[in-house]
A and B are shown apart, each in its own frame.
Chain A
Amino acid sequence: MSEFLAAFFTVFNVMLFQNTLRTATPIVLAGLGGLFTDHAGIMNIGMDGMMLIGAFTAVMGTYYFQSAFMGIVLAIVVGVLLGLFFGLFVIKFKSDEFIIGVALNIFAGGITIFLLRTLTGVKGAFPLPKSLGLPTVSIPLLDKIPIINELFNNNSILVYICWLLVIICYLVVYKTPYGFRLRAAGEHPQALRSIGVSPDFIKYSASVICGILCCLAGAHLSLGYLTQFSENMSASRGFIAFACIIFGRSNPIKVFLAALLFGFFDALGLRLQNIIPANLTLIIPYAATIFVLVIAALQSKRKSKLSELKLNKV
C-alpha cells in the first residue's frame, strides 16, 4: 500500500501542475491564434506547421544573434509572413483552406528538416546552451507562499505573456469594434462589403495574428524549456489546439481552459513515464483529445434532447 502511495505521489504532485502550465502554454498560444481565423470564417488546420516553423526560426534566430529576444523577434516576423502567405492562398486565390492547411503542415515538416541539416549540419535535434533559453520571471513576494510560488513563479516570460494574451484576446474579440467586424466577416462577409468595410482585409489580419501567435507557440516549445529544436517537435500540438478551439467554441477563456485540460493530460503522460512504458504514455494527450471531443459531441446532443423533453411538457 505504501508503495502504491509513493508511486502515486511521484505522479500527482506540484510538479505535475507545474508541467501542466508549461505544456499547456504552446497549445494556448496556438489556440488563441487559431480562434481568430476561426471567427473570420477560415478553417485553419495549418497551425501545426506554423508552430513548427516558429520553433525552428526561434532557435535559429537565437543561435545566430546569440539572444533569445532576437529569436522571438525573428519568429514573429516569420509568423507575419506565414499569415500573409496563408491568407494569399485562402483569401486572394480562394483555394481550399483544408488543402492549403495540409500543404502547410507537410511543407513545414520538410523545410525545417532541410534547413536544419543544411544550415547546421545536424540531424535530429539541435540543442542550444541552456543560458540562451527564454528568461524566467521571478515575482518578488511570491516566493514566500509555498505551492503558489512553485506554480506561478519563475516561469518563462512567454507563460506570463500567454496569460495576458488570453485576456487581451477576449477583450479584442468581444469588446472592440475590430472584434465585431471579425465575427461579421466570418458570418456574412458580403454584408461587410456592402457597408464599405473590406472583409478580406479583416481576414488577412486574422490570418496574420494567427501566424504570429502560432510562431510564438513554437518559440515557447523550442526555447521555453528544453532550448533545442528537434525535427517535428510540434508533435501535432497544432491539431490539439484546433480541438481546443472547437471545444471552447472559439471563446478565448474557454479555449484557455480546454488547453489547460490537454496540458494536464500531456503532463500526466510525461510523469507516468516512470511507471508505464513511455510508448503508451505518449498516447495520453491524443487519446484525451478524442475522448473530450466525443464527450462534447454527446453533450450537445443531450442538450437538444433535453429541450425536446421540456417542450413535451408545455
Chain B
Amino acid sequence: MSNDIAVNMKNITVRFVETLANDDISLSIKKGEIFAIVGENGAGKTTLMNVLAGQIQPTLGSVEILGSTVTTFSPTAAIKAGIGMVHQHFMLIDSFTVAQNIVLGHEPKKPAKFGIFFDNKAAVRFTEDLIREYGLEVPPNARVRDLGVGLQQRVEILKALALGSKVLILDEPTAVLTPSETDELFKIIRKLKEKGHTIIIITHKLYEVMEISDRVAVLRAGKLAGIEETKNLSESKLASMMVGHELSFESIPRDETVKTPVLDIKNLTVSNARGLIAINDLNLTINSGEIVGIAGVEGNGQSELAQAITGLRPALKGSIYLNGIEITKQSPEKIRKLGLAHIPEDRIKTGLSKQASIWENLLVGKQRRREFAWLKLHLRRDKISKYSKEVYNQFDVRGAGIHIPVGSLSGGNMQKIVVGREFSFENTRAYVISQPTRGLDIAAMQFIHKQIINKRNEGAAILLISADLDEIFMLSDRICTLFEGKITAEFDPKTASKEKVGLAMLTHSKEEVCENS
C-alpha cells in the first residue's frame, strides 16, 4: 500500500434492520486532500463517516486508516488511529467552559506527583497553545452555552485536533453558518490542509463543494455513484450525478393577492434564556400573501422573536396580534388553534420527539381531532396511519416506514417530518418558519421552497428566518435585517444587492449602510 493514502474503505456495507444505509462502498482518500461527500438526504453519508469514526460497526467490509487496518470499531480506536469527527449535531457539554470541553477525556491533573485533581489552569494553557498553533480564535474560559454556533463549531474542531486527529471529518458544518462564518471555516480548512491534515467534508451546497474540495464522492441510495476530481465537474453535472437525472431550476410563479395585515407585532420586547434583552421594541406587520424574510447574524434575536410569536417565550413588553386577536399571553396550543403554525429552528430539541415514531410525531397537534380520536379518547390508528402515510409520501421522506422512531431517520429526513406536519394544518393564517431547509438536499430544498410559496399564494402570512441569504432572497417579498434585537433596515429583494443586505446585518441603522455603500 502506498503511504500517501489517508483512508482506505473497502466494500463497506451497513445494514440497519430495514434499510441498507451503505451498500458495498469502496473509496480511498489521499493524505492532505480536501474530500467532499455529497448525496441526497438519507443517501448514507453520515453512516459512512460514522463507520470511519468507529461509531458504527459495518456489516461487511474493512477500513484502513493511515496505513493500519482497523480491527475493532470503537471511538477510542478511531481516535487512536487519527480520526476526528465534528458531528452534524454537536457533542459539547453546554455547562462546561471551552477549555474544559477541549480537555475532556484527557484532563490535565494536579498536583504533579499524585494527579488527583483537575487542573483548570493547565487546561486553559493547553487550549491557548492549541488556539495559537491553529489560529482558531475562541475564548477558553467562556461557557459553551454562551457561544454562538460558529464558535461552538470551532470548539468542536479544536477538540478533535487536541486528540491528535490527522483526518478530520466535518458533517454538514456549513448548514448552521452564515456566509461570512462559512468563509472563516473555509480559511481554517485550507490552513489545516497546509499543515498536512486530511479533511472530509459533507455538504448539500454544491457551490461550496466546487469552492473548497479537491475531489468529490457522490452517494446515491447507499451506493457510490461516482468519484471525480472537482476541477472536472460543474455544479449542474454534480447535481445530476446526485439525483440520477437532470434537475430543472424553474422559478415558482407568484400570485399577487389582496394584502391585509395578518400578523401584527407592536413594540415587542423579549429577553433571552439568560435574562438579557434579545428583542428590543420591535415593530413588524406581515400581510396576507406575503413572505417577510429576516436576515441577520445568528444570535441577534431571531430565536427569541420566533419563540415570542409562537407563545414559547413570554414577551416582557408589547403585543402581538393574529388577525386582530391578541395572542401575546396565550398558550402555544391556543395560538395554534387561532391559525399559526411554526417550524422551529432546532428540529431535535423543539421540533420532534426522537424516540417517538414518525406517525406519532406527525400526529402531534391533531391528536384531539374527531377524525383521529374517537370521543377525543381513543386514537383511531387506521385514520392516523392513512394521514401519516400521505404526508410521508408527499414530502418524500426516505426511511423505513411510519412506524420507526424519528431518531433513526437521517438529519434531512427528520426536517421533512417537521415541515410536513406543520404544512398539513388546514386553515393556517400565518407561519413562523425558522431555517426550513437546514440540512436538506437540493431536490428537497426546491420542494420545500415550492410549498412555502404555494402557502403564500394561498394567502398565508409568512415570517421566514434563515441563515441562508440565498434562501431569503429567493423566497421573500420583503427583507428585514435584524441586528441586536431591532429591525435595522428593509429591502426589496428585486432591487437590493446581497452585499448591501449583508452589510446591514452588521450595523445599527440604515444611514450607516447608505453611508458605507
Contact = CB atoms under 8 A, between A and B. Distances in A.
On whether the two chains bind one another, the answer is yes
Interface of A: 171, 175-177, 179-181, 183-184, 187-188, 190-197, 304, 307-308, 310-312, 314
Contact of B93 (A177, A184, A196): A184
Contact of A193 (B75, B117, B159, B317): B75
Given A312-B316, A312-B317, A314-B277, A180 B85 contact: no
A271 B118 CA distance: 45
B104 A180 contact: yes
Nearest to A304: B275
Given A187-B94, A195-B104, A308-B316, 11 more contacts: A177-B107, A177-B109, A177-B118, A187-B93, A191-B91, A193-B55, A194-B85, A196-B74, A196-B105, A307-B271, A311-B277
B104 A308 contact: no
Contacts of A181: 104-105
A191 B92 CA distance: 6
A194 B75 contact: yes
6 contacts: A176-B117, A180-B96, A180-B107, A195-B163, A311-B316, A314-B277
Interface in B60-93: 74-76, 79, 85, 87, 91-93
B234 interface: no
Contacts of B277: 311, 314
Interface string B147-185: 000000000000100010000000000000000000000
Contacts of B331: none
Contacts of A187: 93-95
Contacts of A314: 277
B80 to A, nearest CB: 8
B111 to A, nearest CB: 12
Nearest to A177: B107
In the A-B complex, the 10 residue pairs with the closest CB atoms: A196-B76, A191-B91, A177-B107, A307-B275, A195-B105, A196-B75, A194-B91, A184-B93, A175-B117, A197-B105
A184 B271 contact: no
B56 to A, nearest CB: 12
A183 B101 CA distance: 12
Contacts of A307: 271, 275
Contacts of B105: 181, 192, 195-197
A205 to B, nearest CB: 16
B100 interface: yes
B100 A311 contact: no
Interface residues of B, number: 30
Interface of B: 53, 55, 74-76, 79, 85, 87, 91-96, 100, 104-105, 107, 109, 116-118, 159, 163, 271, 275-277, 316-317
B93 A183 contact: yes
Nearest to A193: B75
Contacts of A192: 104-105
Contact of B87 (A175, A194, A304): A194
B163 A179 contact: no
A181 B163 CA distance: 16
Contacts of B75: 193-196
B239 to A, nearest CB: 32
A88 B39 CA distance: 41
Contacts of A304: 275
A191 B93 contact: yes
B91 A311 contact: no
A312 B91 CA distance: 36
Contacts of B163: 195
A171 B114 CA distance: 15
B118 A188 contact: no
B308 to A, nearest CB: 14
Given A177-B109, A180-B96, A192-B105, A311 B271 contact: yes
A194 B74 CA distance: 9
A179 B118 contact: yes
Nearest to A307: B275
Contacts of A193: 55, 75
B218 to A, nearest CB: 27
A183 B118 CA distance: 14
B446 to A, nearest CB: 32
A195 B85 CA distance: 9
A64 B62 CA distance: 59
A263 B369 CA distance: 52
Contacts of B87: 194
Nearest to B120: A175
A19 to B, nearest CB: 36
Contact of A180 (B55, B118, B159): B118
A292 B87 CA distance: 43
A206 to B, nearest CB: 16
B118 A176 contact: yes
Contacts of B117: 171, 175-176
A314 B76 CA distance: 50
B275 A311 contact: yes
Contacts of B276: 311
Contacts of A175: 117-118
Nearest to B275: A307
A188 B159 CA distance: 15
A196 B96 contact: no
A109 B271 CA distance: 49
Nearest to A174: B118
Nearest to A310: B275
Contacts of A195: 75, 79, 91, 104-105, 159, 163
A125 to B, nearest CB: 44
Contacts of A197: 104-105
A171 B289 CA distance: 61
Given A179-B118, A180-B104, A308 B271 contact: yes
A224 to B, nearest CB: 30
A186 B74 CA distance: 21
B100 A180 contact: yes
A190 B104 CA distance: 13
Nearest to A306: B275
B116 A188 contact: no
Given A190-B91, A308-B316, A196 B104 contact: no
A132 B475 CA distance: 82
B104 A183 contact: no
A188 to B, nearest CB: 5
A308 B117 CA distance: 39
A284 B216 CA distance: 71
A184 B271 CA distance: 28
Contacts of A310: 275
Given A176-B116, A194-B87, A188 B74 contact: no
Interface centre among A171, A188, A194 (most CB of B within 10 A): A194
Contacts of A171: 117
B312 to A, nearest CB: 15
B151 to A, nearest CB: 17
A38 to B, nearest CB: 14
B356 to A, nearest CB: 15
Contacts of B79: 195-196
Nearest to A303: B275
A197 B85 CA distance: 15
A250 to B, nearest CB: 12
A114 to B, nearest CB: 38
Nearest to B160: A195
A307 B105 CA distance: 37
A244 B316 CA distance: 34
A191 B109 CA distance: 21
